[in-house]
Amino acid sequence: MLQNISDIASEYVVIKALENGVTIIGLTRGKDTKFHHSEKLDKGEVMIAQFTEHTSAIKIRGRVEVLTKHGRLRTDE
């Protein structure tokens, strides 16, 4: 379990697009969750994302492989 902001800031995820046009959206923390950033990836492109004091969640649209310290996930499995 995350204890403080330094624990949160050390959380990274690696997102690899398995198709063109993958959308990655960062969502804010706080009382109201809002979109604050988005990126588009094409097949084979990789993005390394970090959870921060401002980013509480990441929404992904499209076929991807996600790697975290907790394991590997593919959206097509």
Reported confidence tier of residue 1, pLDDT bands at 50, 70, 90: very low
| pLDDT for the residue numbered 10 | 64
Distance CA 66, CA 37 (A): 18
38: Cβ–Cβ under 8 A, 6 or more apart, which residues? 23, 24, 25, 26
Percentage of the chain surpassing pLDDT 70?
Answer: 86
Could you tell me the residue ranges of all domains in the chain? 5-67
Q: Which CATH class is domain 5-67?
A: mainly beta
What are the pLDDT digits (tens) for 7-29?
555 678 999 999 999 999 988 87
Tokens of 31: 């009382």
